[in-house]
Amino acid sequence: MALKKILIAYVSASGATDGIAHRIAADCIAYGAKPSLLDISKNPQVKNYDAVIFGSGIRIGKWHKEGMDWLLSQKDYLVSTPFAVYSVGLKPATDDPNQHKQALSELQTNVDQLAPAKPLAQTVFAGWKNPEGFSKMESLQLKMYPIDYGDYRDWNVIDRWVKEIAPKLFA
Ligand SMILES: Cc1cc2nc3c(=O)[nH]c(=O)nc-3n(C[C@H](O)[C@H](O)[C@H](O)COP(=O)(O)O)c2cc1C
């Protein structure tokens, strides 16, 4: 049987989401699929895939604009293609359950814009608070997050999510 072709599309400004997308691609291989990584900011062309996994860093509650623009341009395709989405931000990196709730609610607001396309799975991942990789202005805004500088990406959480969605997306 031919391997399922999975498009791992992502937008990342500082590199946090880039790393997560690469991890998800490696996990897809482990589950017997054939992933193709697509950095949307470089190449928005899309061909035929069996499923799509989209991820974006969050800025003030929103996915990066290139990411949302790309998804909206692919709406017809996504209506008939299994897909999953995730956000990467710092709210899920805090210990505050309200911040987690807010991150999920912001994700939902982004997802709602894709209607009638609806993901089979959606989640939020913790990203990083990194003094490098952000513009001067962004670094100032980053300081407002009440957590220490660091990489909060949890590879076990990411692996578990792929394990959970694999039967839905690759079946
Ligand atoms: C200007 C700015 C706004 C941000 N807004 C949010 C936000 O609304 N929610 C959140 O959870 N994280 C927010 N973050 C944190 C980033 O999403 C986080 O650092 C993430 O790891 C960045 O991933 P990326 O560089 O791959 O886009 C913000 C960061 C910056 C610099």
Task: For the chain, list the domains and their CATH numbers.
Answer: 4-170 (3.40.50.360)
Mutate-to-test residue for ligand 1 from 40, 54, 58, highest number of ligand atoms within 8 A of CB: 58
Please name the residue that has the structure tokens 């897809």.
28
The Å distance, Cα 61 to ligand 1 centre, comes to: 8
Backbone φ/ψ region at 61: left (φ over 0), alpha (ψ -120 to 50), beta: left
Q: How far apart are CA 16 and CA 69, in angstroms?
A: 20
Is there a cis peptide before residue 92, judged by omega within 30 degrees of 0?
Answer: no
The Å distance, Cα 68 to ligand 1 centre, comes to: 15
Identify the CA nearest to 37 among candidates 79, 7, 11: 7
| Ligand 1 atom 8 nearest Cα | 60
| Ligand 1 atom 25 nearest Cα | 14
Return per-residue pLDDT of the chain as tens, 171 residues: 678 999 999 999 999 999 999 999 999 999 999 999 999 987 666 778 999 999 999 999 999 999 999 999 999 889 999 999 999 999 999 989 999 999 999 999 999 999 999 999 999 999 999 878 888 888 888 888 889 999 999 999 999 999 999 998 987
The Å distance, Cα 90 to ligand 1 centre, comes to: 6
Q: Ligand 1: residues within 6 Å at CB?
A: 12-17, 57-61, 88-91, 103, 127-129, 134, 138, 141-142
pTM of the model: 0.96
